[in-house]
Amino acid sequence: MTAAETLPTELTVGYRMTAAGASAQGTLPLSTLVADVIQVATDHANALGVGYSRLIEDGNSWVLSRLTIEVDRMPRINEDYSLTTWIEGFNRHFSERNFELRASGVTIGYMRTVWVAINVATRRPADLSGISHLQSTVSDRRCPIEPQRRIPSPPADMADVYEVIFRSSDIDFNRHVTTTRYMELAVDSLPLELYDRAYTRRFEIAFRHEARWGEAARVITAPVDDDAMDYVTSVALADGTQLCSVRHTLQPVQ
């Protein structure tokens, strides 16, 4: 990895949406989209020589810190879709990576992600100056959706709560609860019939603390604005430690 011109500043991966993997509404589930986003990010980081193998040489690993999704619609059953990723910004503490979602040849959404490198032993933020060549792969391409805003906490007096215990299939190779499970917890805080009449227009999630096998969490959801179908969700341990915060804005299906 020496000459900047040899590094691919974008990567596109194609997928096919199948009936077997569809949501109840016949569209790509939000958690599957995010699994794809993580996969494309991983593939691109590997192609740039800043993937898992390179970071672990310094005892570091990438952790997804923030994710923002904004879509006009989701891919439908039997539809081909693709994700294109590029790096918007990079400094010694974190990297910003964006994604374009296309289906049937048309752009239908964008995602923004923020990744922090942490030391795997101390779980503290790492210093990324060892991979400063990544700077040369920053793209001029802009992402047209707004960056993530501060996510308010659900007000305690008007919150719905359900409890979960994290079990074996919720745990990833880092021994923490998976990103897709957190996505599902937030999606699951709203009833199925809502998703029949409204789709996810914007979804913001901030990951705050890593949870482990056997821990019990409370999923707390409240409307920010009932009329606008705008909700905030917090997933927290019993001692109040917040695991993640979500803001989920839906829009009526036409």
In whole angstroms, the minimum distance from the beta carbon of 238 to its own copies comes to 17
Secondary structure (3-state) at 34 = helix
Contacts of 30 (CB under 8 A, 6+ apart): 69, 74, 183, 187, 200, 203
Closest contact distance (angstroms) between CB of 25 and its own copies is 8
Segment (H or E) for 184: helix 179-187
Length of the chain: 254
Antiparallel, parallel or unpaired: β 230-237 and 242-252: antiparallel
Q: Counting beta carbons within 10 angstroms of the beta carbon of residue 208, is it exposed (0 to 12), middle (13 to 18) or buried (19 or more)?
A: middle
Least distance (Å) between residue 5 CB and its own copies: 28
Cβ-based nearer residue to its own copies, 35 or 145: 35
Distance CA 24, CA 175 (A): 30
Q: Collect all residues with Cβ–Cβ distance below 8 Å to 45 and sequence separation of at least 6.
A: 51, 52, 62
- 59-98 residues near its own copies, rule: CB under 8 A: 77
Residue 138 engages its own copies in binding (rule: CB under 8 A): no
Q: Tell which one of 4, 8, 39, 132 touches its own copies (CB under 8 A).
A: 39
Least spacing, CB of residue 144 vs its own copies, in Å: 26
* Closest distance to its own copies from the beta carbon of 176 (Å): 9
Judge whether 242 and 234 are in contact, CB under 8 Å: yes
Closest CA to 244 of 200, 185, 160: 185
Query: How many residues interact with its own copies (rule CB under 8 A)?
Result: 36
Count other C-beta atoms under 10 Å from residue 181's C-beta: 19
Residue 26 binding its own copies, by CB under 8 A? yes
CB of 136 to its own copies, least distance (A): 25
**Candidate residues 124, 149, 150, 175; the one interacting with its own copies per rule CB under 8 A:** 175
Indicate which single residue of 13, 171, 198, 206 sits in contact with its own copies (rule: CB under 8 A): 171
Nearer to its own copies, 47 or 165 (CB): 165
| Beta carbon nearer to its own copies, 2 or 169 | 169
Helix, strand, or coil (residue 38): helix
213 near its own copies (CB under 8 A): yes
Q: Does 31 bind its own copies (CB under 8 A)?
A: yes
> Interface residues with its own copies (CB under 8 A)?
18-26, 29, 31, 35, 38-39, 42, 52, 77, 162, 165, 167-173, 175, 184, 187-188, 190-192, 195, 213-214
